[in-house]
Structure 1
Amino acid sequence: MIFNIAWVAIGGFFGAISRFGLSTLIKGKYPTTFPFATLLINLLGSFLLGIIVGGNLGNSLRLLLGTGFMGAFTTFSTFKLETIQLHIQRKWNVMILYIASSYLFGILLAFLGIHFGILLTR
């Protein structure tokens, strides 16, 4: 049990600093009202988590990479907060595009990631 917690903690540490670094980089290069940084990070996370699941990794790697790293790298709460901020700012078209692209492409990329992970382990 203690080793499982350690795997999740280590993965979470690296996932959180990776999200922070990538988000800072994207926001610095592409300043816009559309929340591209969160969208791109969450879409990348959906694809990578799909690969992890499809790759049928052992328990320790699933905890390290899936639960720990990807759990801290992706951010559902920031997605919700940014959606509310767009609503408050009355940016309806941007809000709808953000919600639709997050869910539609997130599910599609997770699906593709799973199949890619399966192919990698054959």
Structure 2
Amino acid sequence: MMLRAFLMVGFGGFLGSVARYGVKLLTDKYLPLSFPYGTFIVNIVGCFIIGLL
């Protein structure tokens, strides 16, 4: 059971990292501002998803 929890946390971290990177590339391309909107958007969506669980 403990190994499954560690794997799920690791997988969630992986998905979050990939999502942040992808959204960062898109926001930097279309919104060239100094604020890290990509990270902000992914964090807000992630919090919403965690709240639903």
TM-score range, shorter chain: 0.5 to 0.7
Which runs of 5 or more residues in structure 2 are unaligned? none
Q: Who is 1:43 aligned against?
A: 44
Matched residue pairs, number?
A: 52
Q: Amino acid of the residue matched to residue 22 of structure 1? A: V
Task: Work out the CA distance in 1 between the residues paired with 2:35 and 2:20.
Answer: 17
Q: Amino acid of the residue matched to residue 34 of structure 2? A: T
Structure 1 vs Structure 2 CA RMSD? 1.7
TM-score normalised by L of structure 1:
0.36
Classify the secondary structure of the residue corresponding to 1:16.
Answer: helix
TM-score normalised by L of structure 2:
0.67
Q: Are positions 1:31 and 2:35 aligned together?
A: no
Segments ≥4 residues shifted beyond 4 Å: none
Which runs of 5 or more residues in structure 1 are unaligned? 53-122
Task: Work out the CA distance in 1 between the residues paired with 2:15 and 2:36.
Answer: 22
Task: State the identity %.
Answer: 33
Q: Work out which structure has the larger RCO, using CA pairs closer than 8 Å and 6 or more positions apart in sequence.
A: 1
Structure 1 residues 35 and 13: alpha-carbon distance in aligned structure 2, compared to 1, 3 A threshold: closer
Q: Are positions 1:7 and 2:8 aligned together?
A: yes
Residues 19, 41 of structure 1: 8 Å contact kept: yes
